[in-house]
Structure 1
Amino acid sequence: MSMLIWYEGYGRIIEARIREYVIKRWRRAWKLALIEGMKPDWRDFYLELNQ
């Protein structure tokens, strides 16, 4: 099962790709802190977007 728990929007694809590259190099703890800062309860965004 997959969940959408975090996202960021960008106006240009190159900005999104750069951000993706940067985040992929982060430590796991930093990624978890990013997610928990936006969604501390870890609810699935997909369910909210499809209402």
Structure 2
Amino acid sequence: MMNYVYIIQSKLDKSFYIGKTSDLKKRLDFHNSYDLNKGITRRKIPWDYYHILEMENAVTAARIERHIKSMKSRKYIENLKKYPEMTEKLLKKYS
């Protein structure tokens, strides 16, 4: 089963949210559901995928998610999408 670290962006204010999942469609549907979503992303619906990192290991996904969140940087997130080699380095470092 594939695992993903995803970055979604609010169409409302262009803010980002970072998470991990094994089912991308189900997760985005959750973030965009007023009925199901009672969390922090509910305030900024609608969301769309900004960047997706794919890996085979759930542990690696958790480590990469934690790393991206710890950077606390919009520029870092934008650079992840802009420079694919950053994603490759993360996958090597945390695999």
Point out the structure with the larger helix share: 1
Supply the distance in 1 between the matched residues of 2:78 and 2:69 (Cα, whole angstroms). Answer: 12
Which of 20, 33, 46 in structure 1 is aligned with 2:79? Answer: 33
Which structure 1 segments of 5+ residues have no match? 39-51
Supply the distance in 2 between the matched residues of 1:24 and 1:14 (Cα, whole angstroms). Answer: 16
Task: Identify which of structures 1 and 2 has the higher relative contact order when contacts are C-alpha pairs closer than 8 Å and 6+ apart.
Answer: 1
Point out the structure with the larger strand share: 2
Normalised to the residue count of structure 1, the TM-score between the two structures is 0.62
Runs of 4+ with deviation above 4 angstroms: none
Aligned to 2:60: 15
Larger Rg: 2
Supply the distance in 2 between the matched residues of 1:17 and 1:8 (Cα, whole angstroms). Answer: 12
Aligned-residue identity in percent: 16
Supply the distance in 2 between the matched residues of 1:34 and 1:28 (Cα, whole angstroms). Answer: 10
Which structure 2 segments of 5+ residues have no match? 1-45, 84-95
Query: How many residues are paired up?
Result: 37
Quote the RMSD (CA, aligned, Å).
1.4
Normalised to the residue count of structure 2, the TM-score between the two structures is 0.36
